[in-house]
Amino acid sequence: MAYVTLNSHYSKTALTRMGMPRWLLIAAVAICATQSFLPNFMIRLPESWIPPSAQILDYFFNEIVINTLHFNELTRWFAEGPLDFMLGFTANLLEGKHRWPFLDDPLPWSAIAAVATVLGYYLGGWRMALLGGGTFVWTALMGQWKITMQTLSVLAVAAPLGFLIGLVAGIVAWKWKWFDNAIKPVLAVMQTLPFYTYLLPAVIFFKVGPTAGAIATTIYATPPMILMTTVGLKKVSPEIVEAGKMSGCTRWQMLTRVFIPSARSEILVGVNQVIMLCLAMVVLTAFIGMPGLGGKLLAMMNSFKLGRSLEIGITIVLIAIMLDQMSKAWVVKLPAHFEKGTPWHIRNKYLLFAIGAFILFLVSAQFIDILNEVGRRQSLSIGREIDGAIKGFLNIDIVKSITGFLRYVLNVWILVPFRDFLLWIPVSAFLLLVVAFAWSVGGRRPAAYAAVFFTLVAFSGWWDRSIITLYSVLAAVFISMLVGIPLGIYASRSEKWAKRTLLVCDTAQTFPSFIYLLPAIMLFGITDTTVVLSIVIFTTVPLARYTIEGLRNVPSELTEAADMSGATRWQKLVKVQLPVALPTMAVGFNQAIMFAFFMVIIAAFIGTQDLGQELQRTLAGTDLGKNFVLGINVSLMALTFDLAIISWANKRKEALGL
């Protein structure tokens, strides 16, 4: 009952707000209908109106940042000094690179696998132990040990760096409001900027190689750490703060003994995010010198070795799931408290056990070669067999006729007409439509942002390509809603299925998207269908995940009330569960759009005509300015949706009292 009154109250405010968007919509339709009579500048901005933003940016980068401020000397010093030293240190230990401390042999794989097993057991029992040890055993047996360690040696620097920067920036943002306000938009842009835009600056400022790879990874992975730290610190309850003050803590002690331990859970969620985002960059950073798995994967794909690409993909997924599960277990695991007088070796028994296992394997590897290194000839890689299986599958007649049909229907009847329709809409009408959308969904503020952002896009001179980018995003998100939401609803009905589906989601999310691009091309050709469907694989994940989470977190009083009033399963779902879960699902929807903007740029590897293709072209000419303009366009479009949807979800949550 409570819910119903809330809802009617909500829809009343929504109604009064509907006025303006409706007028905008009518105006947009009017412009579309009369476009043949309208002056040209309302349809597409004339060339002469486009400011030379790329040239201005080029001048800014070359003349001011590099030639006047010599900013590159500072970054270069950092890259070649401390950063290179740290990367050299981990690389020497893990893969034997010729750097300090100049150990001749890298650590044997068996010793690392043993430590991971003990750590896994400590954090989550036998299952986690199996996951930890198993991942490393798989890596060694597949003959991928060296490249995996090359990757991990960079991540072992990039992730802690991201953690540290994120923690400090998060604390500063929590202490000083102005910093918080200043950093929020920067973080938002950073998170939506396509990776191509990081590439050239990272190379120019931080030297191609592991250094640029580490920096690009850190930049990409840090934002959620900052946000989670601030969130955690803000939530610390006043009672705890009082207790700290009463026991006479100094300010430093307050921070390190009171605030940070109390915000432990949020900070660790941030750590988990940092790790996962680092892994997401493993393949992309291979373009700027990140060694290891990513580079190998690209080389395998370019010589059309599907099987071995797949094996590398599995390694990346295993590492991601292992680190994810372990860091999540660490969040849940509360610090153990021992009685006074417990001997040291009991308090630290896992540590001792890990050291013991490490030494045992370190020593035995000196005598038993296979424990030290699995050679390529000994490895169990079955790349060729997988190649055959994939090609065989793609050649089954039914598969071919289904995909041929899908390709035809989607391309000729749906996608291409939809794209042409979006391109047919005059710029002025498109602006009104976007503003109307943002207004009706999020309210006045998001509408204002939408107006500014899309006007900037129009004045960037890349309107058509921006619209084609947007078209792929919208088409993909729409299709993934058709798949993801029903999937989520179905999976949320039982604990068991929810868990299984979430596992599939995790896997799909960390699986390097490059790998499924190739089979997708083989199935659907180099067409819009391939582009859209490969985005769909990625965007269905958040939709399914948040639908499950939203539905499973519906307060049980509400569902029980529905049961008691004799609602059918369908009624319960439509009238009670879905409306309450909607704000959470909106977060998933928003994430799906963000993922789509990320993935659409990667889809340039298939072959597109959007901003991604143009970004790819800038690599040849090293046009920093143009590169940045294109990247910002993606960012602006993504942020327009982000602001509108998040604003809607927050209002709705408030209205529902969640």
Partner 1 sequence: MKTKMILSAAALALASATSTSAMEDSSDPIVIPIHNWSSQIVMSHVVGQILESLGNNVEFVTTDSQAVYESVRLGDVALELEVWEGAFGASFREALSKGGLHDAGDHNAVTREDWWYPMWTKDACPGLPSWEALNDCAHLFATAETGDEGLFLDGPVDWLKHGKERAEALGLNYVVKNAGSAAALWAHIGAAEADKTPVLVFNWTPNFAEAVWPGEFVEFPAWEDGCDTDPSKGPNPNALHDCGNPATGYLKKAAWDGMPEKWPHAYEMLTKISFTNAQIAEMAKLVDIDEMEPEEAAEVWLEENQDVWKTWLPEGSS
- Minimum gap (Å) between residue 215 Cβ and partner 1: 13
Cα 145 from Cα 513, distance rounded (Å): 22
Question: What residues have CB less than 8 Å from 576, skipping those under 6 apart?
Answer: 3, 554, 558, 559, 561, 562, 567
The correct pick among 50, 389, 525, 653 for binding partner 1 (CB under 8 A) is 525
In the region spanning residues 280 to 299, those forming contacts with partner 1, defined by CB under 8 A, are 286-291, 294-295, 298-299
- 434's tokens: 């976007």
The correct pick among 110, 148, 372, 411 for binding partner 1 (CB under 8 A) is 411
The correct pick among 6, 29, 351, 416 for binding partner 1 (CB under 8 A) is 416
Kindly tell me which of 282 and 427 has the beta carbon lying closer to partner 1: 282
Cα 475 from Cα 462, distance rounded (Å): 20
Other Cβ atoms less than 10 A from the Cβ of 145: the count is 24
Confirm or reject binding of residue 559 to partner 1 (CB under 8 A): no
- Minimum gap (Å) between residue 75 Cβ and partner 1: 12
Cα 301 from Cα 28, distance rounded (Å): 46
HEC string for 15-40: HHHCHHHHHHHHHHHHHHHCHHHCCH
In the region spanning residues 94 to 113, those forming contacts with partner 1, defined by CB under 8 A, are 97-98
Question: What residues have CB less than 8 Å from 631, skipping those under 6 apart?
Answer: 193, 194, 196, 197, 615
| The one-letter amino acid at 77 | W
In the region spanning residues 386 to 405, those forming contacts with partner 1, defined by CB under 8 A, are 391, 394-395, 404
Kindly tell me which of 83 and 288 has the beta carbon lying closer to partner 1: 288
Cα 87 from Cα 80, distance rounded (Å): 10
The correct pick among 54, 157, 481, 518 for binding partner 1 (CB under 8 A) is 518
The correct pick among 37, 178, 252, 304 for binding partner 1 (CB under 8 A) is 304
Return the closest-CA partner of residue 459 out of 50, 52, 57, 54: 50
Cα distances (Å, whole numbers) of residue 422 to 180, 612, 634:
38, 18, 17
Count of residues in contact with partner 1, rule CB under 8 A = 60
- Minimum gap (Å) between residue 520 Cβ and partner 1: 8
Confirm or reject binding of residue 605 to partner 1 (CB under 8 A): yes
Confirm or reject binding of residue 616 to partner 1 (CB under 8 A): yes
State the DSSP string of 307-337. Answer: HHHHHHHHHHHHHHHHHHHHHHHHHHSPPP-
- Minimum gap (Å) between residue 59 Cβ and partner 1: 15
State the DSSP string of 50-65. Answer: S--HHHHHHHIIIIII
Kindly tell me which of 394 and 502 has the beta carbon lying closer to partner 1: 394
Kindly tell me which of 42 and 373 has the beta carbon lying closer to partner 1: 373
- Minimum gap (Å) between residue 344 Cβ and partner 1: 43
Q: 554: which DSSP letter? A: S
Per-residue contact string for residues 209-238; x = within reach of partner 1 by CB under 8 A:
xx----------------------------
Sign of CA dihedral 248, 253, 257, 260: positive
The correct pick among 522, 561, 646, 656 for binding partner 1 (CB under 8 A) is 522
Per-residue contact string for residues 417-446; x = within reach of partner 1 by CB under 8 A:
------------------------------
The correct pick among 54, 129, 183, 199 for binding partner 1 (CB under 8 A) is 199
Could you tell me which stretch among 115-123, 207-215, 321-329, 503-511 binds partner 1 (CB under 8 A)? 207-215
Could you tell me which stretch among 19-27, 114-122, 200-208, 439-447 binds partner 1 (CB under 8 A)? 200-208
| The one-letter amino acid at 115 | V
Confirm or reject binding of residue 249 to partner 1 (CB under 8 A): no
The correct pick among 106, 145, 194, 207 for binding partner 1 (CB under 8 A) is 207
Residue showing tokens 């976007």: 434
Q: 143: which DSSP letter? A: T
- Minimum gap (Å) between residue 281 Cβ and partner 1: 14
Cα 231 from Cα 187, distance rounded (Å): 15
Confirm or reject binding of residue 521 to partner 1 (CB under 8 A): yes
Residue showing tokens 């055993």: 137
Cα 206 from Cα 77, distance rounded (Å): 9
Decide: helix, strand or coil at residue 103.
Answer: coil
The correct pick among 39, 343, 621, 657 for binding partner 1 (CB under 8 A) is 621
Confirm or reject binding of residue 604 to partner 1 (CB under 8 A): yes
- Minimum gap (Å) between residue 265 Cβ and partner 1: 38
CB 298 within 8 A of CB 514: yes
Return the closest-CA partner of residue 553 out of 498, 510, 599, 629: 498
Confirm or reject binding of residue 619 to partner 1 (CB under 8 A): yes
Interface with partner 1 (CB under 8 A): 97-98, 199-200, 203-204, 207-210, 286-291, 294-295, 298-299, 301-305, 376, 383-384, 391, 394-395, 404, 407-408, 411-412, 416, 517-519, 521-523, 525-527, 603-608, 613-614, 616-617, 619-622
